[in-house]
Amino acid sequence: MDLNIYQLKIELSGSKPKIWRRVLLPSNMEFEDLHYVIQMVMGWENGHLHQFRKDKLRYQLLDEEDEFLDNGETIDYSEMPISDLLIKEKDKIIYDYDFGDSWEHDVCLEKILAYDTSKKYPFCIKGKNACPPEDCGGIWGYYRILDVLKDPKHEDYSDYSEWYGDIDPEYFDVDDVNQELWEIV
């Protein structure tokens, strides 16, 4: 199999305006590494469980003692390349993070490109808007926080301001993201 570069768009479901990232990475990257890439480009802290989904199947890191290993719906993704599920342009998978807050990400294979040996991968080429803080109650909790922080007279303003500080929902710095990515490569 030829090594290609995948251009993926990762979009946080339910976000308006959309919170998304566009990344370039090798087609032979394993799902475990894709998990870490998504964590970094989105701004998550990797403190919760995650899984990938395609069709009616779930893909997780499982150990031999995991009770879900043989249920027919959950597949161990260890050492599985992303090219096993993302085969052609427009193929999609779902990445779920934090089953309590239920952060769902649509991951779309936008383009398949030739491998360029002069570039360093993975690489974030673009993105829009800030990632919500961890443990804030999902996308609806995030929007509530933003609404409260806009109104200093709101009864929860003092608590939210102390817990979350200043949140700039439009902030995204592609250079910072790439610096973090390259520190782990």
Residue 158 and residue 101 share a domain: no
- Inform me whether the pLDDT recorded for 144 exceeds 70: yes
Average pLDDT over residues 144-172: 95
Q: Tell me: the pLDDT tens digits for 65-118?
A: 665 555 668 999 999 999 999 999 999 999 999 999 999 999 999 999 999 999
103-106, long-range: CB < 8 A, 24+ apart: 103/12, 103/44, 103/132, 103/138, 103/139, 104/12, 104/13, 104/14, 105/10, 105/11, 105/12, 105/13, 105/38, 105/42, 106/9, 106/10, 106/11, 106/13
Beta bridge partners of 51: 96
Residue 158 and residue 179 share a domain: no
Residue 65 and residue 31 share a domain: yes
Average pLDDT over residues 125-152: 96
Tokens 């768009």: give the residue: 9
Q: What is the CATH number of the domain that holds 34?
A: 3.10.290.30
Residue 143 and residue 61 share a domain: no
Asked if 100 contacts 93 with a C-beta cutoff of 8 angstroms, the reply is no
Average pLDDT over residues 141-160: 96
Q: What is the pTM of this model?
A: 0.93
- The span from the CA of 168 to the CA of 179, in Å, is 21
- The span from the CA of 122 to the CA of 82, in Å, is 13
- The span from the CA of 58 to the CA of 171, in Å, is 32
Residue 40 and residue 99 share a domain: yes
Residue 109 and residue 53 share a domain: yes
DSSP at 63: -
* pLDDT tier at 62, thresholds 50, 70, 90: confident
Q: Give the residue numbers spanning the domain of 77.
A: 4-130+169-184
Residue 94 and residue 138 share a domain: no
Residue 114 and residue 162 share a domain: no
Residue 153 and residue 66 share a domain: no
- How many domains does the chain fold into? 2
Residue 117 and residue 37 share a domain: yes
- Inform me whether the pLDDT recorded for 140 exceeds 80: yes
